[in-house]
Structure 1
Amino acid sequence: MLLAAATTASAGTLHGIQPDDLNRNGDPCVDFYDYANGAWRKQNPIPAYMDRWSRRWQSGEVNKEHVRDILTELSARSDWPQGSAGQLAGDFYAACMDESRIDALGSQPVQPWLADIAAVHDQASLQRMIGRLHDVGIAVPFGLYAGEDQHEPSRTIAHLYAAGLGLPDRDYYFKPEPRFADARTQYLAHVAKMFELAGTPAAEAKAKAQTVFDFEKRLAQASLDNVQLRDPKQQDHPMAFTGLAKLSPSFDWAAYFSAAGVPRVDLNVTQPAFLQQFEKELATTPLPQWQAYLQWHVLNTAADSLSTPFVEQNFAFNRTLTGATEIKPRWKRCAELTDAQLGEALGQKYVEKYFPPAAKARMQDMVKNILLAMDDTIRELDWMDEATKQKALEKRATFVPKLGYPDKFKDYKGVVVSRDSAWNNLVAASRWNVADARRQVGKPTDRSRWGMTPPTSNAYYNPLQNEIVFPAGILQAPAFDLNATDAVNYGAIGVVIGHEISHGFDDQGAQFDAQGRLANWWTPEDGKQFAAKGQCVVDQFEGYFIEPGVHHNGKLVLGESIGDLAGAKLAYRGYLKSREGKGPEPTLDGFTPEQQFFIAWGQWRGDETRIETQRSMIQGDPHPIAKYRVNGPLSNLPAFQQAFQCKAGAPMVRAEKDRCEVW
């Protein structure tokens, strides 16, 4: 197999791919995942506290070090004005880091909550307690969130959703395979142990654990599965406020909404059958069973903010799902928690240090080119008629990119944080975040709000606002590097940009129109063609096994796999567009720019993943295992075959009759 000539041209200060990460004994046409960074993975085993590892995940952990440095600096000062971003983030982190004080308190911080639940004595007090738990973000057994109206996204409404399970999803309660049966056994023991740590005698704790499991199993039976949850139409049940009384007449909805400060206007119930099961539980389940269930979910939420025995027991159970053998260092857990609860307070400091204006400008240019590549792709489709193309182009034209950080940061006014209790701080911050979201209900949608914090190493697409969002935390090397060639940046973050754009046109996103409404904009024939092209992707991923008898659920990973496939194609086209008028970039380290592009994707996305995590992902994660996120889409792309001169019939070259191309 021929690669690029060994001659390396000068590229000034810009670098190419990571040549030392390559498995030089591998063959890019056989297993590109192994070739692109097999040497790096061999030299960098998964850390004991992680469930997967790659340069991408390493970057995320380095990012947490940056967050830690900011929080350490903030917490070193005690003279911040009360309620300021510095005081809130600094004291929240300091209290979380004060392990000796947390250990001295034991379960004391959470005992008032457990006592209040134990004092529930009738339906009215039970319902008030459910509302109190919702106020601090403990969604049991259902939850309420503020979100766009799927039929009129310019307004925000309340959505009631199914929640309240302690295992990852409904199937864990029913499926007979050993990995599910083992998880159930471990879960029962875990719940019992947590009750014991909180002071419940062993026999009573065991009985409570069984009560909790049986209660959750009934809720799980009434819940949609993971594939059903991917269909927005299955969760679209708009109704007037009075409609709630028909689903669950025993619950005092008027009192609940009044206490929550949420207006009684039209809303959406994502799973009506679940609320009917909730009604059945209210009518038939004895109060002591409700008490055990609610107490468990308080303990489960509080576990990592309590003393070491709780933290260790919580980790002991979760390791069965992830395979990690050591708990993360406390500073990492505290940095993550501070970011999750007060991310826009510390985010201001983060972007000052780690996201310069030059980075934003270069990202804007990349996004522009990849969006233009999407336009070109739509226009060139041979399976879509002109009427549908115009609708697709209209939708693409309304895309809103958000890069780095919000134009306006949250002020967290009213949050009271001290260094006395990590749990009380978590309650205070959660209460503020819940109230902040609830205040949006009944108002015009605020498009300036973000769904991720600035330090987050991730990205998302929101179909209801037709926006693609890239926090500063993901715009770091190796995903995005001001000192890297365009080939490398387009191959890494560029594919992520293309991926998020593609979500607007995947099996879910394609159900929303240019205004973000859940509305069909497809002709019947084009809709059939689109579904057939999606089925090709489903079939491809059904054939990817992680161990004998365990393969991907093609329907579950369809959206993310369309995103990867179209994302790689769009980013490549965007890269070529970026070179128009400039000429090609040089060959570096013996690799052409085209080869660098694809290697950059393999090096950024190529995670090594523990088998326990793979099993959990196969069950409930809409993202495929990393190996197949690399090999799967690239094996469909003629540009990849050309770049590495792969022969027809090579494992990384799907036969033309089997090749998938959606966009």
Structure 2
Amino acid sequence: MKSLFLASCAVIALSAFTPAVAGDAPDAAAVATPHYGTWGYDLTGEDKAASPGADFFRFANGAWSDHAEIPADRVRFGNFDKLYVLSENRTRLIIESAAAGQSSDPDAAKIGAAYKAFMDQDKVEALDAKPLAPDLDAIRAEKTLGDVAALMGRSPLSFQGGVFAAGIQADQKAPTKYAVYLDTAGLSLPDRDYYLEAQFAEKKQAYQAYVAKMLGQIGWPDADAQAKAVVDFETEIAKVSWTKAQERDPDKTYNPMSVDELVQYAPGFDFKAFLRAGDLPDSGRVILGANTAFPKVAAIFANTPMETLKAWQAFQVVDSAAPYLSDRFVQARFEFRNKTLAGQPQQKPRWKRGVAFVQGALGESVGRLYVAQYFTPEAKAQMDDLVGQLRVALKGRIERLDWMAPETKAKALEKLSKFTVKIGYPDRWRDYSPLTVAADDLYGDAERSTAYEWERQVKRLNDPVDKMEWGMTPQTVNAYYNPTNNEIVFPAAILQPPFFDPKADPAINYGGIGAVIGHEMTHGFDDEGRKYDGLGALSDWWSPQDAKKFEAQTARLGAQYSAFEPLPGAHIKGDNTMGENIADLGGLLVALDAYHASLHGKPAPVIDGLTGDQRVFLGFAQIWREKIRDDALRQQIASNEHSPAHYRVVGTVRNVDAWYKAFGIKPGDPMYVPPEQRVRIW
């Protein structure tokens, strides 16, 4: 699944209920739809002294950036985050209303119970580490490596961790059927680079101290020595793990084999016990991701002392479960994972963490209440119309391509015609009736929620793929493209200003939500998406000549982004961010074409001295308005497939001919790229 942005929240007696802090419930302004300027663009955010050809991000957002402050409980803040806070406030009111018995929704009692369990801090403090006992006792009881593998297989059902991970998703070469996927795992830092590169040496050292602290807090013997052994163990796994860029190639990560073949291929790990423990068949077919790493990780596992494996498992449990334990665990985890790794100064208040917990456990039930209150049929109809316009615009761009042969072009157009579009919310809501939620058992609620989701997936393993399912809740501020369904999905929460405002100048909407729609459509034709056909099957439908031309252009785009250095010594990884960069460029081009078509041959109006094209580009720059802390930025560069927001703007517009004309960009301007060197893909 490809998403538009970094997700910043988890995809994870009631009548006497009281809010987290008396009187701090969101007021009307906190849940009101935002507006930007008088026609959809915030002119006050511009840096009037900046040159658009020197730094277009600065030109559009510099004044805002100079005055904006990142909230102490966040690592970044911008227009995505502003909408996230809005959605968070709205869902808080929904959840607290359900908890107070003021909702008739069939899942209101469960929503309220989950929130009350999280907000009952006195109960959580009194229990302290006691909820961990069964999980830790299971680790202590292990006697063989087979026992360890079996307990690792329980990771989808509990807080246990594993050096391999299992998942169930559509078979990429038979997308109407589900398949069991396996991949390597075992790393607790954001990326393998954190173990292997000198720039992260201090973070790695802090990680070892964190492991020791957490093991010490559960009374694990020889915590300091075992912490070093745990980090050394993970470092060995990091050495043989694939890079993020390698993991992006669907041809290389589709490696089917039988379980018996896997046992022979990667001796040293009991895969059959692992699968059985996760309620998966221990025979038949599985699909490996980073296949060449499997025998290496299995060998590392087999050669590691039992006491190290147990200490690693114990740390995995307490680290994963910490948000649901007493404050000493919560704060220890925050100090390392949020403050040390990402630079976040303050912990989020408990109500925000409670909202995130409920949304992770019962997200679609909360979403059902959200859309009833905050998403109108008119908004959905307007989005349907916009998507139709963008589809026509992309069709035109494909038809006009001068580098693609007619036979490949015909297949691209066929794929585009088969796109499924989902807007706002699912047609069928998830059934949470099998999930038990107790208002006095936070740890159990969290574990049961995890188990419920896994069991839901396992039960349908032999059923046809559910094409109606959503991968995000309606209250999520994001969007995505799913290649095996060949679908683009836009949750309700993103369909508001600055992305989409029915009252705004159309040029701003095209630069905002239009570019978002175009972005997700272009994912169907980025370096990964292009490898799937119109039915969602991983298949090669390109002529070799066209594939080479495509790869030549994407290599140039990758080189452009790899030259960007947001922090000293930290360059963007152009090969890892390739798909998002292609989608950003294609999305803006498609949106601009759709805007031009919407004028029906008439000249665009001039507003506040700005032409239509200028407003499209400024609308695009406005949605990526963001400030981010240095540690979070370094983490994003190392581990995320999205380029930092600043470079999503400047890296995109410099390849769009119309931008040069709109703002009079000339040779000698820092952002100027000669026409023959501009990347032209879609």
For Structure 1 versus Structure 2, the TM-score category normalised by the shorter chain is: over 0.9
CA distance in 2, matches of 1:23, 1:440: 54
CA distance in 2, matches of 1:400, 1:16: 29
1:16–1:588 Cα contact (<8 Å) kept:
no
CA distance in 1, matches of 2:663, 2:104: 57
Identify the range of structure 1 (360-369 vs 191-200) with the bigger mean alpha-carbon deviation: 191-200
1:220 to partner: Cα distance = 1.9
CA distance in 1, matches of 2:268, 2:59: 61
Aligned to 2:16: none
1:415–1:428 Cα contact (<8 Å) kept:
yes
1:432 to partner: Cα distance = 0.3
2:149–2:271 Cα contact (<8 Å) kept:
no
Q: 1:503 to 1:286 in 2, by over 3 A?
A: same
Aligned to 2:244: 226
Residues 77-113 of structure 1 show CA distances to partners (whole Å, capped at 9, x for unaligned) of 29979xx421222211221122222222211212221
Aligned to 1:200: 220
The letter for the 2-side match of 1:595 is: Q
The letter for the 2-side match of 1:649 is: G
Match of 1:518 among 519, 538, 549: 538
Aligned to 2:296: 277
1:291 to partner: Cα distance = 1.1
Match of 1:475 among 476, 495, 516: 495
1:404–1:472 Cα contact (<8 Å) kept:
yes
Match of 2:74 among 50, 53, 64: 50
Match of 1:353 among 359, 369, 373: 373
The letter for the 2-side match of 1:301 is: S
Aligned to 1:163: 185
1:182 to partner: Cα distance = 0.9
Q: 1:79 to 1:502 in 2, by over 3 A?
A: closer
The letter for the 2-side match of 1:226 is: K
Aligned to 1:537: 557
3-state DSSP of counterpart to 1:608: strand
Aligned to 2:9: none
Residues 263-301 of structure 1 show CA distances to partners (whole Å, capped at 9, x for unaligned) of 444220112333323432453333222211111111111
Count of aligned residue pairs for this structure pair: 644
CA distance in 2, matches of 1:139, 1:277: 18
Q: 1:140 to 1:511 in 2, by over 3 A?
A: same
Aligned to 2:21: none
Pair 1:484-2:504 in alignment: yes
Give unmatched runs, 5+ long, in structure 2.
Answer: 1-36
3-state DSSP of counterpart to 1:94: helix
The letter for the 2-side match of 1:116 is: A
3-state DSSP of counterpart to 1:550: coil
Aligned to 1:20: 44
Aligned to 1:5: none
> Which residues of 2 match residues 138-149 of structure 1 at below 5 A?
138-149=160-171
1:19–1:589 Cα contact (<8 Å) kept:
no
Match of 1:457 among 477, 482, 487: 477
2:654–2:671 Cα contact (<8 Å) kept:
yes
Q: How big is the alpha-carbon RMSD for the aligned residues of Structure 1 and Structure 2?
A: 2.0
CA distance in 1, matches of 2:331, 2:396: 54
Superposition TM-score, scaled by structure 1 size: 0.93
CA distance in 1, matches of 2:268, 2:185: 19
CA distance in 2, matches of 1:545, 1:572: 28
Aligned to 1:32: 56
1:136–1:434 Cα contact (<8 Å) kept:
no
CA distance in 1, matches of 2:77, 2:413: 38
Residues 528-568 of structure 1 show CA distances to partners (whole Å, capped at 9, x for unaligned) of 11111101101111221113332112111111111111111
The letter for the 2-side match of 1:28 is: P
Residues 377-403 of structure 1 show CA distances to partners (whole Å, capped at 9, x for unaligned) of 011011111111111111111111111
2:153–2:273 Cα contact (<8 Å) kept:
no
1:451 to partner: Cα distance = 1.2
3-state DSSP of counterpart to 1:161: strand
CA distance in 2, matches of 1:228, 1:137: 28
Residues 193-250 of structure 1 show CA distances to partners (whole Å, capped at 9, x for unaligned) of 111222336xx11112112112212222231111111111221111123322213455
Match of 2:616 among 574, 597, 607: 597
Q: 1:422 to 1:358 in 2, by over 3 A?
A: same
Pair 1:399-2:419 in alignment: yes
Residues 577-614 of structure 1 show CA distances to partners (whole Å, capped at 9, x for unaligned) of 23327x45643333233222111111111211211122
CA distance in 1, matches of 2:103, 2:533: 51
1:636–1:653 Cα contact (<8 Å) kept:
no
Aligned to 1:301: 320
CA distance in 2, matches of 1:103, 1:584: 66
Residues 44-65 of structure 1 show CA distances to partners (whole Å, capped at 9, x for unaligned) of 2111221111122112111111
Identify the range of structure 1 (361-370 vs 38-47) with the bigger mean alpha-carbon deviation: 38-47
1:80–1:87 Cα contact (<8 Å) kept:
no
1:488 to partner: Cα distance = 1.2
3-state DSSP of counterpart to 1:636: coil
3-state DSSP of counterpart to 1:653: coil
Match of 1:370 among 383, 390, 400: 390
> Which residues of 2 match residues 241-280 of structure 1 at below 5 A?
241-249=259-267, 251-263=269-281, 264-280=283-299
Aligned to 1:9: none
Aligned to 1:386: 406
Aligned to 1:547: 567
Give unmatched runs, 5+ long, in structure 1.
Answer: 1-12
> Which residues of 2 match residues 124-135 of structure 1 at below 5 A?
124-135=146-157
1:606–1:630 Cα contact (<8 Å) kept:
no
3-state DSSP of counterpart to 2:423: strand
Aligned to 2:678: 659
Aligned to 2:113: 91
1:136–1:431 Cα contact (<8 Å) kept:
yes
CA distance in 1, matches of 2:603, 2:117: 54
CA distance in 2, matches of 1:661, 1:102: 56
The letter for the 1-side match of 2:206 is: Q
Aligned to 1:615: 634
Aligned to 1:76: 100
Superposition TM-score, scaled by structure 2 size: 0.91
CA distance in 1, matches of 2:279, 2:332: 37
